[in-house]
């Protein structure tokens, strides 16, 4: 049996530090690397990133859209790259932001199944249809040892338009966080009263052997942390470092020392390419700063 994603993430962070590097081969970046905007250029880009980083960082986060835009050839590149990255010790977080209901959501969650051609360790999902709509993905993750990161309080400037909307006495973002807290509590199912924070603490430790496999996405560029993460029991994926304006100081200001944070950097590392050594050096600088 594969260890749950939360445990594998904790082990990877302990060995390599918490850095997650996004793999975002958009057309402008391919051109900046002197590569063609086609499956061949995509493959050279992706191979270079995987070669440089898969043996060094805890998590690689390919953005599915940049591979889908090249059709079946692009998906084939990602399938091969995900397998190589995992073989080198990196966890692969598929940035897919999928969200739907019933059998459709279950089909999206198949990426977490070990036998899938594009098998990954975790994926990002969207709760716009309600946190309960993600239950098929939660069930698959539990069955396969996979993980989910649910969009909660994102880093885009107008995110608050919906994420601050009130659902009874809570913001929509807080409803998402509370649901994920429930998923990290054994025995809790959608529809049950939310578990007490003290109960969560009894069964989950943030970076210990019982780290939950279900996390939330909360941007590192927020002015203030306007959701309560206490007792989440799982990791926080924090995009926005570097080019988007977020800093290591922002991470510490927002999340403190007690939250299991996986900070994400993309452009500030990828812009160092196409030289593999330069890519690795850029990632190492972020890892060192996060450890400082």
pTM: predicted TM-score of the whole model, two decimal places = 0.94
The better pLDDT of the pair 264, 259 is held by 264
Percentage with pLDDT > 70 across the chain? 91
List CB contacts of 165: < 8 A, sequence separation 6 or more.
Answer: 171, 172
Whether a cis peptide bond, with omega within 30° of 0, leads into 274 is yes
Q: With beta carbons less than 8 A apart as the criterion, state whether 12 and 50 touch.
A: no
The better pLDDT of the pair 279, 201 is held by 279
Residue 61 designated active-site: no
Residue 229 to residue 46: CA distance in whole angstroms:
34
User: Three-state SS for 22?
Assistant: strand
pLDDT at residue 157 in the model: 85
Average pLDDT over residues 61-88: 98
**Which range, of 54-63, 143-152, 203-212, 277-286, averages the lowest pLDDT?**
203-212
Average pLDDT over residues 247-262: 91
DSSP H helices, the chain, are 5-16, 27-32, 39-53, 64-68, 71-87, 102-108, 135-144, 160-163, 172-183, 197-203, 248-255, 267-270, 276-291
Reply yes or no on whether the pLDDT at 197 is more than 70: no
The better pLDDT of the pair 258, 136 is held by 136
pLDDT at residue 190 in the model: 61
Tell me the average pLDDT of the chain.
92
pLDDT category at 188 given cuts 50, 70, 90 is low
pLDDT at residue 93 in the model: 98
pLDDT at residue 67 in the model: 98
**Which range, of 189-203, 220-234, 244-258, averages the lowest pLDDT?**
189-203
Residue 278 to residue 178: CA distance in whole angstroms:
41
Closest Cα to residue 93, out of 205, 229, 237? 237
pLDDT in tens, 84-130: 999 999 999 999 999 999 999 999 999 999 999 999 999 999 999 99
Query: Domains of the chain by range and CATH?
Result: 5-291 (3.20.20.70)
The better pLDDT of the pair 201, 162 is held by 162
Q: Any idea which residue has 């944070």 for tokens?
A: 261
pLDDT at residue 160 in the model: 86
pLDDT in tens, 205-249: 444 445 799 999 999 999 999 999 998 999 999 999 988 888 999
pLDDT at residue 206 in the model: 45
Distances (CA, A) of 32 to 18, 66, 231: 28, 16, 43
Catalytic residue among 8, 44, 97, 280: 97
pLDDT in tens, 148-175: 999 999 988 888 889 989 988 999 999 9
Reply yes or no on whether the pLDDT at 200 is more than 80: no
pLDDT at residue 106 in the model: 97
């Amino acid at each position: 049996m594969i260890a749950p994603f939360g445990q594998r993430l904790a082990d990877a962070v302990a060995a390599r530090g918490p850095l997650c590097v996004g793999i975002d081969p958009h057309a402008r970046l391919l051109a900046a690397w002197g590569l063609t905007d086609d499956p061949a250029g995509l493959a050279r880009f992706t191979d270079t990133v995987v070669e440089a980083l898969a043996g060094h960082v805890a998590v690689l986060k390919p953005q599915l859209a940049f591979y889908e835009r090249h059709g079946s050839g692009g998906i084939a590149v990602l399938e091969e790259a995900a397998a190589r990255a995992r073989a080198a010790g990196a966890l692969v977080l598929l940035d897919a932001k999928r969200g739907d209901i019933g059998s459709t959501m279950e089909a999206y969650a198949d990426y977490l199944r070990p036998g899938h051609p594009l098998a990954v360790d975790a994926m990002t999902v969207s709760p716009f249809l309600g946190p309960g709509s993600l239950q098929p993905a939660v069930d698959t993750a539990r069955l396969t040892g996979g993980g989910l990161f649910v969009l909660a309080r994102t880093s885009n400037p107008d995110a608050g338009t919906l994420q601050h909307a009130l659902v009874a006495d809570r913001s929509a973002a807080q409803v998402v966080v509370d649901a994920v807290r429930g998923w990290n509590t054994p025995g809790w199912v959608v529809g049950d009263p939310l578990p007490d924070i003290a109960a969560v603490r009894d069964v989950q430790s943030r970076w210990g052997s019982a780290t939950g496999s279900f996390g939330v996405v909360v941007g590192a560029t927020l002015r203030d942390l306007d959701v309560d993460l206490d007792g989440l029991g799982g990791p926080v994926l924090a995009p926005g470092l570097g080019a988007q304006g977020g800093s290591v100081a922002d991470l510490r200001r927002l999340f403190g020392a007690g939250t299991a944070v996986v900070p994400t950097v993309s452009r500030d590392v990828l812009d160092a390419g196409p030289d593999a050594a330069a890519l690795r050096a850029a990632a190492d600088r972020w890892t060192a700063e996060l450890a400082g």
